[in-house]
Amino acid sequence: MNVITLTELSKIYPGGKKAVDSVNITLSSGEVFGFLGPNGAGKTTTIKLLGGMLTPTQGSCTVFSLDPAKNPEKVHALCGVVTEHAQMYDALTGIQNLIFYGSIYGLTPSESKKRGLELLKQLELYDAKDQKLSAYSTGMRQRLSFARALIHQPKILFLDEPTSGLDPESAQNVHDMIRLLSKENGITVFLCTHQLRYAQEICTRYGLMEKGNLLAEGTLTQLRSKVCSGATMKIKATEIPHELSCYQTPEGILEIPIQSEEEIPKTARRIIESGGNIYHISTVLPSLEDIYFHLTTRKESLK
């Protein structure tokens, strides 16, 4: 069963700005979907459409076969949302905030407290549980928002830049938690971010967005074969043959694009035959960043 379905989803704001343009995506249970693109790509608008905060101009979207525009409260009961604009109450402490949100998700105060304390422990906020939110740092607030989104054990998580403002250690903690939630609890994660490197660490599938358009969608392997097949061979050597010197970086490393593994021994042989010594050879597959830039530059050149 598809957990999330976007069919020709479009949103044009009253001013005429097309924020999302005919996007088609389907997500299955337990997937960690990275919805990637720069600011203004339409990621937050898509989350708002899936949360029922906005109504599509064209097309449709469903969450567990529910239309968020028609049944927002039913969709909200199934999902947890973390966005930059969804803050909590400064006058309440960390645990009081979680108890309040737990109670409006239908949990009893004792259930909310128990679950809240568990989450605060997991997110390393237990020592700050009785501090008012006004005393929390940006990173602590972000982690508490994450705890709030998980208080009612949702089936889907909509995360909009969940690690912005977090130090590397806290960000890693959140990544591990996202991985664990999808693996052990089967939670589907719809993750919006512009940090492509971080997305590559935790996502199982990706959608690359630019100016409201879905440029490409699939797993990393699928994207590599669709967008830029091949790899880069990196060689550290001396006495580099003249015909290969154009691939040399300022650091003296050769970076040669290759289409198949057969090219590796051929190139190595040429260096050795010309009297050179090889100190290191490796192949690097295109990263998500490489794929994204390849897509955007290809689109620009087509214009």
Partner 1 sequence: MNTQMAAIIKKDMQSITCNKRMFTTLLVVPIVLTIFLPFVFILSIYFVPEEGKELLALLEMFPIPVQSGSSLKSIIWFMLNILLPVFFLIIPIMASSVMSAASFVGEKEKRTLETLLYCPLSLKQIFRAKVIASFLISMLVSAISFTSMLIVIETLSYAITGSFTFPDAKWFFILFLIAPTISLIAITLIVQMSARAQSIEDAQQGAVFLLIPVLLLLIGQFTGILFISTWLLLVIGILCALAAGLLLKKSMNHFQYETLLKN
Amino acid at 35: F
Q: Quick check: 190 and 30 in contact, CB under 8 A?
A: no
Residue 1 binds partner 1 (CB under 8 A):
no
Burial (CB count <10 Å: 0-12, 13-18, 19+), residue 266: exposed
> What is the identity of the amino acid at 146?
F
| Binds partner 1 by CB under 8 A, chosen from 55, 110, 138, 238 | 55
Binding range to partner 1, per CB under 8 A, among 79-87, 186-194, 196-204, 230-238: 79-87
Among residues 35, 101, 146, 206, the one that binds partner 1 under rule CB under 8 A: 101
Interface with partner 1 (CB under 8 A), residue from 74, 113, 155, 234: 74
Residue placing its CB nearer to partner 1 in the complex, 75 or 208? 75
The only residue of 37, 51, 116, 286 in contact with partner 1, by rule CB under 8 A: 51
In eight-state DSSP terms, residue 87 is: -
Nearest residue (CB) to partner 1, 104 versus 284: 104
Tell me the sheet residues that pair with 206. 34, 218
The interface region with partner 1, picked from 17-25, 103-111, 121-129, 239-247 by CB under 8 A, is 103-111
d(CA 46, CA 19): 9
Q: Are 54 and 45 in contact (CB under 8 A)?
A: yes
Figure out which of the listed residues 1, 91, 246, 302 binds partner 1, where binding follows CB under 8 A: 91
**Residues 126 to 155 in contact with partner 1, rule: CB under 8 A:** 148
Dihedrals φ, ψ of 95, to 5°?
Answer: -70, -35
- Residue whose C-alpha is closest to residue 223's, from 240, 205, 237: 205
- Which stretches of the chain bind partner 1, using CB under 8 A? 48, 51-55, 72-74, 76-77, 79, 81, 83, 85-91, 100-101, 103-106, 148
